[in-house]
């Protein structure tokens, strides 16, 4: 039987799965397609690391590793929903919840001193940050807004805040002594094994990473950000925000960049509260209160300190003395510095741009903001958008063009800071990358506390990326721009490779350009204001940033993007959008039994998954399911059946009912397979006739608190009961 793997993940997407998956499985079975699940949630990934400590009933296999192996095969057909890229506070919270559920898990050792503790830390570190995507993404990324979604956005444009020419919102970035400016790059000439080592002032070498296998043609980068320069920069920006009367905010990627950016976040807190750390830094360190985990973690831990009240007062004074901080929740006093995963650059910057260049201040009103993005690698793209909006006003979703993306990400390409090649330097000296022959390939002078990192990009993904860019440019007859900067070491190397590999393809009649990210942004913005489309062809980090930025401007959300990963070995990975708003949706469900999560991304991914399966296996019914689902999604959008904003309207569960109804209607009406049409005729009639009853059953529970048994590890039976409250719908599906 043909098979699709549907991933179980976290937060709102996981909750929605309890409602939508039974519909998928019932419809797919009519085409002889099994839809199986694999649990790659944060909780499941934690559980899989400690089988020896758990009971038989509690143990879970490593589903992520299983899917990683599957992704390398032609048979792979995986639908991947958004998952938590765990920051340290999220990881610890998930462990605590699992312990409360009876799982004998060890505490995370912040400062391991024994081999056993180091082993525990290493296991947990496998789960932290962007642990899922590099394993599954055995292909490059093709992300775009489907025509049905784009047309809907044009007919029903979302609200964009007005811009004024005198807006004082700007981006501040280092430009010197940062990752971009210190980058060095080599192309490895033959298969080899590299190591990373620190050489102290005494000449003694300390191995930081023993063995890094590399392949011929692999691009290897190393770079360092100097923390002394970082502190000078941060002090200047804090003073600048105060002088200009704007909010101070910091925008980092403390989830995906799971080592470098939390360290940077901690430095921002130290810089904002210099007097606190001068007086009480030793006390905080002794108590294990690390600023890298955010201000919230420090404040919560002060209760255990004898001078906790005094330190709390010092933090309060620091907030009062400094510039106004951008707020995550002004009503609750949650600042931009409270939790590192609350203000992720790829989500927070587009939200600011959409809202007139404003963030929320302590007074609960919107204000101009100084957005601090320390590393200058990509900060300039956001400044380019701010300058464009200042000059030309807000974008108009009813007329603007689109910027689809082809992203380099296969085989963990350009995974800056996500893996075990990022280090906080232990002393003054050198960090160097050495090959098996003992030759130094990359070397940097470093000082204590500097952040050094390396990344790898294999040749096969680069070739495939160029091929995919040409394929998409020809398929859509759209200009394609490689966002690469010849003045940056890594990009200069890629430019040479791109030119070489472009020559291997037929590009006659295509407009394919190479521009720096800032120039590419200006070029793309000018075109989308005219209503024209432009394909962005980018590296991995820019892929992440742009596939939030442009969809949020065009569609109001990045969750409505079609995200296809054509796997290099012939399989398919189908991603369903971003999960940045997922935590707020979970809170609302628990408090009000109302889930606002929009599953449109799941609908889009499912259609192309069926289409891929039909192409790979010749299953004609799978193609019918794909075609009818695509038409049903168009009706769903035209009829505006996405989750409403207020209690009393349909939520996520109601949207699933309407998708099921429209899909059944299309299947019953199609003429390619009379037997399949007959199978769905009864269901279509039932769902149509019982529409009022089903909607009433779905809306009736709203307004009361519900118990799902946990945030990271909810109880399956409780969650299913909450997410499937319509007996009429459940019974109708069972008839298939």
Ordered DSSP codes for 50-97: -GGGS-TTT----HHHHHHHHTTSTT-EEEE-----B-HHHHHHHHHH
pLDDT digits (tens, 9 = 90+) for 94-144: 999 999 999 999 999 988 999 999 999 999 999 987 788 889 989 999 999
* Average pLDDT of the segment spanning 208-227: 97
712 touches 97 (CB < 8 A): yes
Q: If you average pLDDT over every residue of the chain, what do you get?
A: 94
| 359 phi, psi to nearest 5 deg | -125, 170
55, two tokens: 């009971």
* Average pLDDT of the segment spanning 189-194: 98
272 touches 321 (CB < 8 A): no
pLDDT digits (tens, 9 = 90+) for 72-100: 999 999 999 999 888 888 999 999 999 99
3 touches 34 (CB < 8 A): yes
Instruction: List the single range of 184-188, 340-344, 469-473, 515-519 with lowest mean pLDDT.
Output: 340-344
Cα–chain-centroid distance for residue 611?
Answer: 25
* Average pLDDT of the segment spanning 399-424: 89
pLDDT digits (tens, 9 = 90+) for 628-686: 999 999 999 999 999 998 999 999 999 999 999 999 999 999 999 999 999 999 999 99
Return the pLDDT at 69: 96
Is the pLDDT at 578 greater than 70? The verdict is no
* Average pLDDT of the segment spanning 400-413: 94
573 touches 139 (CB < 8 A): yes
Distance CA 703, CA 114 (A): 51
- Percentage of the chain with pLDDT > 70? 99
Residue 306 in 3-state DSSP?
coil
Is the pLDDT at 463 greater than 60? The verdict is yes
Angle between helices 716-723 and 11-29 (to 10 degrees): 70
Max Cα separation, the chain?
Answer: 82
Return the pLDDT at 580: 55
The strand ranges marked E within 539-668 are 562-566, 572-575
Name the band, by pLDDT with cuts 50, 70 and 90, for residue 582: low
Residue 332: Cβ-neighbour burial (10 angstroms; 0-12, 13-18, 19+):
exposed
Name the band, by pLDDT with cuts 50, 70 and 90, for residue 241: very high
Return the pLDDT at 311: 96
Separation of first and last alpha carbons in the chain: 18
689, two tokens: 């006739």
Distance CA 680, CA 686 (A): 10
Instruction: List the single range of 7-11, 133-137, 175-179, 530-534 with lowest mean pLDDT.
Output: 133-137
| 505 phi, psi to nearest 5 deg | -120, 160
- Percentage of the chain with pLDDT > 90? 88
Q: In what order do the strands lie in the sheet with 205-214?
A: 205-214, 192-200, 429-434, 440-446
Return the pLDDT at 342: 84
Return the pLDDT at 245: 98
Distance CA 520, CA 79 (A): 31
Return the pLDDT at 579: 60
290, two tokens: 């690390």
Residue 44: Cβ-neighbour burial (10 angstroms; 0-12, 13-18, 19+):
buried
* Average pLDDT of the segment spanning 381-394: 97
Instruction: List the single range of 309-313, 363-367, 573-577, 677-681 with lowest mean pLDDT.
Output: 573-577
Name the band, by pLDDT with cuts 50, 70 and 90, for residue 21: very high
Residues β-bridged to residue 113: none
Return the pLDDT at 415: 81
Return the pLDDT at 560: 79
Give the residue, 54 or 145, on which the prediction is more confident: 54
Is the pLDDT at 703 greater than 90? The verdict is yes
pLDDT digits (tens, 9 = 90+) for 539-549: 999 998 999 99
538 touches 483 (CB < 8 A): yes
Among the listed residues 686, 409, 714, the one whose alpha carbon sits nearest the alpha carbon of residue 567 = 409
Is the pLDDT at 696 greater than 70? The verdict is yes
Distance CA 204, CA 478 (A): 55
pLDDT digits (tens, 9 = 90+) for 625-640: 999 999 999 999 999 9
92, two tokens: 């610890």
């Amino acid at each position: 039987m043909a098979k699709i793997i549907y991933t179980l993940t976290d937060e709102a997407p996981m909750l929605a799965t309890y409602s939508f998956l039974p519909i998928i499985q019932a419809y797919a079975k009519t085409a002889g397609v099994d839809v199986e699940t694999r649990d790659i949630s944060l909780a499941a990934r934690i559980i899989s690391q400690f089988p020896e400590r758990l009971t038989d009933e509690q143990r879970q296999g490593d589903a992520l590793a299983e899917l990683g192996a599957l992704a390398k095969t032609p048979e792979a057909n995986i639908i991947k929903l958004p998952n938590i890229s765990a920051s340290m506070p999220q990881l610890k919270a998930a462990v605590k919840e699992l312990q409360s559920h009876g799982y004998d898990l060890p505490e995370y050792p912040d400062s391991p001193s024994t081999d056993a503790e180091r082993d525990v830390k290493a296991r947990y570190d496998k789960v932290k940050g962007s642990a899922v995507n590099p394993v599954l993404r055995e292909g490059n990324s093709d992300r775009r807004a489907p025509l049905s979604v784009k047309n809907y956005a044009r007919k029903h444009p979302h609200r964009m805040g007005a811009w004024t020419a005198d807006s004082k919102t700007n981006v501040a970035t280092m430009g010197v002594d940062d990752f971009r400016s210190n980058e060095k790059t080599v192309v490895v000439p033959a298969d080899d094994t590299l190591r990373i080592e620190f050489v102290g002032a005494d000449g003694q070498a300390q191995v930081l990473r023993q063995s890094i296998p590399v392949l011929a043609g692999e691009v290897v980068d190393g770079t360092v950000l100097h923390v002394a320069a970082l502190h000078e920069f941060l002090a200047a920006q804090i003073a600048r925000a105060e002088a200009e009367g704007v909010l101070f905010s910091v925008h980092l990627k403390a989830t995906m960049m799971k080592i470098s950016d939390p360290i940077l976040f901690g430095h921002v807190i130290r810089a904002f509260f210099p007097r606190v750390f001068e007086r009480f830094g030793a006390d905080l360190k002794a108590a294990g209160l690390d600023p890298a985990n955010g201000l919230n973690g420090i404040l919560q831990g002060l209760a255990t300190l004898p001078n906790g009240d005094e330190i709390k007062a010092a933090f309060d004074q620091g907030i009062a003395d400094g510039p106004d901080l951008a707020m995550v929740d002004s009503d609750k006093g949650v600042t931009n510095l409270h939790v590192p995963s609350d203000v992720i650059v790829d989500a927070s910057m587009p939200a600011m741009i959409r809202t007139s260049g404003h963030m929320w201040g302590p007074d609960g009103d919107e204000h101009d903001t100084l957005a601090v993005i320390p590393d200058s690698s990509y900060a300039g793209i956001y400044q380019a958008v701010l300058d464009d909006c200042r000059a030309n006003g807000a974008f108009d979703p009813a007329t603007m063009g689109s910027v689809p993306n082809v992203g380099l990400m296969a085989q963990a390409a350009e995974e800056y800071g996500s893996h075990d090649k990022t280090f906080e330097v232990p002393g003054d000296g050198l960090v160097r990358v050495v090959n098996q022959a003992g030759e130094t390939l990359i070397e940097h002078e470093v000082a204590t506390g500097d952040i050094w990192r390396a990344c790898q990009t294999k040749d096969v993904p680069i070739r495939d990326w160029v091929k995919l860019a040409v394929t998409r440019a020809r398929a859509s007859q759209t200009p394609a721009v490689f966002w690469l900067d010849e003045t940056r070491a890594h990009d200069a190397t890629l430019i040479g490779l791109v030119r070489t590999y472009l020559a291997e393809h037929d590009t006659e009649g295509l407009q394919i350009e190479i521009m720096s990210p800032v120039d590419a942004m200006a070029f793309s913005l000018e075109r989308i204001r005219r209503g024209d489309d432009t394909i962005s062809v980018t590296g991995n980090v820019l892929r992440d940033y742009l596939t939030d930025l442009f969809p949020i401007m065009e569609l109001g959300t990045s969750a409505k993007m079609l995200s296809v990963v054509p796997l290099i070995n012939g399989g398919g990975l189908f991603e369903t959008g971003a999960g940045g708003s997922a935590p707020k949706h979970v809170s609302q469900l628990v408090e009000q039994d109302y889930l606002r999560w929009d599953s449109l991304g799941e609908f889009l991914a499912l259609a192309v998954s069926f289409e891929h399966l039909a192409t790979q296996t010749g299953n004609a019914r799978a193609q019918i399911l794909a075609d009818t689902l695509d038409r049903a999604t168009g009706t769903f959008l035209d009829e505006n059946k996405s989750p409403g904003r207020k209690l009393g309207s349909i939520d996520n569960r109601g949207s699933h009912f309407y998708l099921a109804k429209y899909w059944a209607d299309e299947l019953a009406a199609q003429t390619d397979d009379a037997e399949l049409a007959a199978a769905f005729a009864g269901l279509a009639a039932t769902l149509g006739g019982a529409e009022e009853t089903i909607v009433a059953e779905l809306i009736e529970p709203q307004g009361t608190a519900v118990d799902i048994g946990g945030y990271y590890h909810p109880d399956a039976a409780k969650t299913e009961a909450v997410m499937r409250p319509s007996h009429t719908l459940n019974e109708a599906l069972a008839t298939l």
